[in-house]
Structure 1
Amino acid sequence: MSSRSGSVIWIHPEAPPKPALGQPCNGCGVCCLAEPCPLGMLVSLKREGACRALQWSGEDQQYRCGMLAHPTRYVGWRTLRPDGLVNRLIRRYARRMIAAGIGCDADIEPTTAPSSTVSSPSSPEKR
């Protein structure tokens, strides 16, 4: 769990720990679970809460931005080929919008609630 201004987010138990500010992204998901980035606001149609495009990768044991993995799923063009020009252009734009490769910019410090108060939600990445 993490707190930002009193809010609670549920983080997948297998997610890697949040890196320090400026360190490379490791897919912890804390930033996107707390609030969507400007691009996430567009695809989630909300300004608070977890980004709709955030995906958990069980294989990689980390969160992934759906706008980089499968962008047309989130913009309503599901019939386009995943390797097509539109997907490539959206991915390029998404990389720039989320500052992929720049480093962690989340000024959130995760905290863990006492185990007696932690309950398991039905979908950890949903809150």
Structure 2
Amino acid sequence: MTRVFMLRSDAPTKPAAGQPCNGCGVCCAAEPCPVGMLVSRRRTGRCRALVWQQGRYRCGMVSHTARHLPPAAALAGTGGPAHGPALDCRRQRLRQPGRSAAHRPRLKPPR
């Protein structure tokens, strides 16, 4: 089966098997790597993190990580809006100084 990839004509040619990456973009256009699968949310086809930069293709997850992360992943673990405004508000109240564990309201686990 023949596959056609739309890449820039001034990109370097694909190196021989076993040679290091030269930024040709063919591998990333064919299928995403494991990190690319998470970012692109696909197992086949072009990786969405593939970027053209300074005369070659580069991995956007290496050069511009924040640009390619979904908003929820960028805020995960920070207690920011990814967790919802109500939960974020509750966490702020629990962190107030001088409040012991006995006086903290019990939070119900999310459903």
> Where does 1:24-35 land on structure 2 (aligned, <5 Å)?
24-35=20-31
Which consecutive segments of 4 or more residues in structure 1 shift more than 3 A? none
- The structure 2 residue matched to 1:75, chosen from 69, 89, 93, is 69
SS of alignment partner, residue 55 of structure 1: strand
1:15 aligns with 2:11: yes
Deviation sequence 1:21-64 (CA, Å, 0-9, x none)? 1212110000001111111010001111100000011xx21000
Q: Any stretches of 5+ residues in structure 2 without a counterpart? A: 75-111
> Where does 1:66-105 land on structure 2 (aligned, <5 Å)?
66-77=60-71
1:65 aligns with 2:67: no
Conserved? CA contact 2:39–2:70, under 8 Å: no
SS of alignment partner, residue 9 of structure 1: coil
Deviation sequence 1:72-110 (CA, Å, 0-9, x none)? 111135xx8xxxxxxxxxxxxxxxxxxxxxxxxxxxxxx
For the pair shown, the structure with the greater C-alpha radius of gyration is 2
- The structure 2 residue matched to 1:54, chosen from 40, 50, 53, is 50
Q: Any stretches of 5+ residues in structure 1 without a counterpart? A: 81-127
Deviation at 1:6, TM superposition (A): 2.5
Structure with higher RCO (Cα < 8 A, 6+ apart): 1
Richer in helix (by share): 2
Question: Which residue does the alignment assign to 1:117?
Answer: none
Aligned residue pair count:
72
Among all aligned residue pairs of Structure 1 and Structure 2, give the percentage whose two residues are the same amino acid: 57
SS of alignment partner, residue 4 of structure 2: strand
